[in-house]
Structure 1
Amino acid sequence: MRKVLIITYYWPPSGGSGVQRWLKFAKYLPQYGWQPVIYTPENPDFAIEDQSLLQDVSPDTEVLKTKIWEPYEIYKALTGNKGKKVNVAYAAGGKKGGAIHKLALALRGNLLIPDPRCFWINPSVKYLSEYLKSNPVDAIISTGPPHSMHIIALKLHRKTGLPWIADFRDPWTNIDFYKELNLSWLADKLHHRREQQVISEADCVVSVTPTWCSEFEAKGPKKIALVHNGYDEADVAGQDVAVDEEFSLVHIGSVNAARNPKVLWKALSELLPENKELASKIKIKLVGNIEAVVFENIEKYQLGDYVEKVGYLSHKDAVAFQQKAQMLLLLINNTPNANGILTGKLYEYMASGRPTLAIGPSGSDIAKVLNQTGSGTIVDFDDVDGMKKMLLDLFSKYQNGELTSSASGYEQYSRRAQCGVMAGLLDDITK
């Protein structure tokens, strides 16, 4: 069996979405003739932890770890959050703050290139170079963000000549918060230069949505490929749960300001006073970490009695929770790159057996997948009338016992199937 070195920041006990892709691919790669060797930090600063995910790591998987130094203690001291966990996406620009917060972001974007994990690059290259002398592998995969993982792989690729796949779970300079980093012209140039080096020198660049693949293709990679995220059959099988009696709309995952479903709050504020039956049955359940601005909107529209804050759940419990929902809410960031977002939870939603109501652009990649599989519907960010009509239609189906999912053809998005696509790319670059 051939071996592939996978360089990833996120690995159990990390929770959240960032860990899922390569945790699951590492699980299924051996079925395609590839044995993964994981390289990950020994002491990372995870915003979310989920100990249950350790059960998905095979005892046959070799996991290499070295210490990492991250400057988040400095960031937390500057912003008055000492001792608290930092949500890296929000610290990187997804959340507004005061002058100290903006200063911290400016320092992050201009000095820590490509990201705050940059201090791990050179020690990792040194460690892995020595490791590979006595433990050869056939290929390298780096997955980012954080994009420092790609720089480790770039330097290792240059030293060893090993075939290399750069896997982008999110864009680099096209990410929605990039302009909020307040970059100098020099820092912007360095980010673009580093990105271009990775894209042009990797044997294959992989991303997770058609739109993002097109954006990367314009930058001139040797090879570009789409490998979707997905759902793990093992996670959704064998869960025997009863569907909620109330008209429940459930969202799984973090909700920040960009993902705040204002159109839903507005529509409900207009519908509920005039529709007492709907008001007596509806319950919005938010599972995960929710920013304060979301609850400010909920209170603004006097919807507090209809919204339940569940908090963070383990991945296993979250899967069971979504299978209980009457409807699943899928929220897309209301940002310029919204068309290219294919959030990973979409695939688990499809496999849950419950219908999905998404909020986002009607011409987006998510809308196309929903239409292709018949797994749900989508309402645009600002379409209040459309949302009201959709809610009434869904509620009518709920009352008549007809609120079911008719999803089909989604099996292609299983983690096992998508891992087969990734393994095929490994086969191609190692011929």
Structure 2
Amino acid sequence: MKKVLIITYYWPPAGGPGVQRWLKFVKYLPEFGVQPIVFIPENPTYPIQDNSLLEEIPEGIQIIKQRIFEPYALSSFLSKKKTKRISSGIIQKHKKQSILERIMLWVRGNLFIPDARKYWVKPSVKTISKLLLDEKIDSIITTGPPHSVHLIGHELKRKLGIKWLADLRDPWTSIGYHKQLKLSAASSKKHKILESTVLNGADAITVTSEITKQEFEKITDRPIKVITNGFDGNRVSTKLDAKFALSHIGSLLTDRNPIVLWEVLQQLVSENEKLKISLKIQLVGVVGDGVKESIQFHGLDDYIEEVGYVSHEKVQEYQTASQILLLLEVDSVETQGIIPGKLFEYFRARRPILAIGPEQWEGGKLVEKHEAGQYFRPDDKEALKQQISHWFNNFENGALHCNSKGIEQYHRRELTKQLANLLSWE
């Protein structure tokens, strides 16, 4: 059986789709003749934790830990809330940023290149170099963000010539928040150089969307494979919500604020007495202040059920019980290639998906491709209103269903098979 070392910053008890991506790859790789060994930080600073994911770590998996120095741990003494927000990639709009937050952003972008986990690179390379020889490991995988993890892979490749696959779950220098880091010209250039160094140094690259692949193909001629995120297990069995529940699962930050949705719902509840009684807007996860302000402005306060962060297990129950699942993205060119990890679990829940996002959005196109719901641009107000009215009529008649097609390809086992094929290095 081939051995592969997976180098990742995020691992249970960290929460989020990046954790689940590699947790599931590790689960299924042995079925395809690959023995995974996991390398993680010993004392990380995770902005979100989900202890329930600890129970999903496969038995017998070898996990090796290396201590990490994180500046975020020091800056949290100044402002724990702001530090947590910035380390999560959540950046307030400029006019709402405090002086401290602006300073922290400048430091984050210009002193910690490519990110604040850069101090993990040198000690990790030293530990892993010995480990590769002792364990007779065939290849390594680095997954980011944080993209400093890829610098570990690059250095190991340079020193030892080992086969290296770089998994970039998000774009690097083109991701939306990168422009908000107050970068100097010199710092911006350094980020681009490191991005090119990684993309041209790895033996193979995996990404989570076609648009990201096309973007990186302009920088490198290395082979790039799209392996999306996915879902695992069977659909959770639970009773449907008795109300007409529109649910958003995950962080709903201000930049993703679906103002057009609030406008439409405001109109519909004023026009339809039955909808006024039945409507429920369920927000599971962190909700930005701007979103709350918009909801209040449109007179929808009484319909909101703000749940907050829950375990992954509980998330699946909310998804399956909802009448409509909301998939929302920032309306910008930079987000066209972003496919939220929640989409694939929405597929498994088999509830209609209401997607609102930018033009040519890959996430929205997948919803339509698999006939799992409807995708709208933020300026498609009238069409959006008609669709919600149609769904509500179906709900009233007990006929609100989702007959999605072809989603089996996104099962974690099928995705792991693609990864294992890459690791054959043929």
The answer (yes or no) to whether the contact 2:356–2:364 under 8 Å persists in 1 is no
> 1:376 corresponds to which residue?
373
Deviations 1:295-328 (A, max 9, x none): 1111111111011101111101100111001111
Matches within 5 A, 1:13-52: 13-52=13-52
> 2:6 corresponds to which residue?
6
**2:404 counterpart of 1:407:** yes
5+ residue gaps, structure 2: none
> 1:367 corresponds to which residue?
364
Cα separation, 2, equivalents of 1:17 and 1:381 = 25
- 2:97 counterpart SS class: coil
The answer (yes or no) to whether the contact 2:332–2:358 under 8 Å persists in 1 is no
Q: Which amino acid aligns with 1:213?
A: K
C-alpha change, 1:407 and 1:382, in structure 2 (3 Å) is: same
Deviations 1:172-200 (A, max 9, x none): 10111111111111111110111101000
Q: Which amino acid aligns with 1:341?
A: I
- 2:17 counterpart SS class: coil
Deviates more, 1:349-358 or 1:329-338: 329-338
C-alpha change, 1:86 and 1:45, in structure 2 (3 Å) is: farther
The answer (yes or no) to whether the contact 2:72–2:87 under 8 Å persists in 1 is no
2:416 to 400, 419, 425: 419
- 1:140 counterpart SS class: strand
Cα separation, 1, equivalents of 2:41 and 2:74 = 19
1:282 to 279, 298, 313: 279
C-alpha change, 1:94 and 1:33, in structure 2 (3 Å) is: farther
Cα separation, 1, equivalents of 2:73 and 2:139 = 35
C-alpha change, 1:362 and 1:400, in structure 2 (3 Å) is: farther
> 1:139 corresponds to which residue?
139
> 1:203 corresponds to which residue?
203
- 1:73 counterpart SS class: helix
C-alpha change, 1:91 and 1:356, in structure 2 (3 Å) is: closer
**Deviation of 1:75 (Å):** 3.2
> 2:110 corresponds to which residue?
110
- 1:398 counterpart SS class: helix
Cα separation, 1, equivalents of 2:90 and 2:308 = 20
Deviates more, 1:264-273 or 1:402-411: 264-273
Q: Which amino acid aligns with 1:197?
A: T
Cα separation, 2, equivalents of 1:106 and 1:284 = 37
Q: Which amino acid aligns with 2:175?
A: I
- 2:378 counterpart SS class: coil
Q: Which amino acid aligns with 2:319?
A: Q
2:312 to 311, 315, 319: 315
**Deviation of 1:363 (Å):** 2.5
Cα separation, 2, equivalents of 1:263 and 1:100 = 33
Q: TM-score if structure 2 supplies the norm length?
A: 0.96
Report the identity percentage: 42
**Deviation of 1:82 (Å):** 6.6
The answer (yes or no) to whether the contact 1:93–1:180 under 8 Å persists in 2 is no
Deviations 1:54-77 (A, max 9, x none): 122112211111111111134334
C-alpha change, 1:306 and 1:92, in structure 2 (3 Å) is: closer
The answer (yes or no) to whether the contact 1:94–1:177 under 8 Å persists in 2 is no
The answer (yes or no) to whether the contact 1:93–1:177 under 8 Å persists in 2 is no
- 2:187 counterpart SS class: helix
Q: CA RMSD for the aligned pairs?
A: 1.7
**Deviation of 1:271 (Å):** 2.0
**Deviation of 1:20 (Å):** 1.1
The answer (yes or no) to whether the contact 1:205–1:221 under 8 Å persists in 2 is no
Matches within 5 A, 1:62-81: 62-78=62-78, 80-81=79-80
5+ residue gaps, structure 1: none
Cα separation, 2, equivalents of 1:240 and 1:110 = 49
The answer (yes or no) to whether the contact 1:252–1:287 under 8 Å persists in 2 is yes
- 2:260 counterpart SS class: helix
Matches within 5 A, 1:133-212: 133-212=133-212
Q: Which amino acid aligns with 2:283?
A: L
C-alpha change, 1:210 and 1:282, in structure 2 (3 Å) is: same
C-alpha change, 1:418 and 1:176, in structure 2 (3 Å) is: same
Equivalenced residue count is: 425
**Deviation of 1:362 (Å):** 4.9
C-alpha change, 1:357 and 1:91, in structure 2 (3 Å) is: closer
Cα separation, 2, equivalents of 1:83 and 1:330 = 26
The answer (yes or no) to whether the contact 1:154–1:198 under 8 Å persists in 2 is yes
Cα separation, 2, equivalents of 1:268 and 1:192 = 43
**Deviation of 1:84 (Å):** 7.5
**Deviation of 1:91 (Å):** 4.8
**Deviation of 1:88 (Å):** 2.1
> 2:264 corresponds to which residue?
267
**Deviation of 1:93 (Å):** 6.7
**2:79 counterpart of 1:90:** no
Cα separation, 2, equivalents of 1:10 and 1:335 = 27
Q: Which amino acid aligns with 1:291?
A: G
- 1:116 counterpart SS class: coil
Q: Which amino acid aligns with 1:18?
A: G
- 1:401 counterpart SS class: coil
Q: Which amino acid aligns with 1:257?
A: T
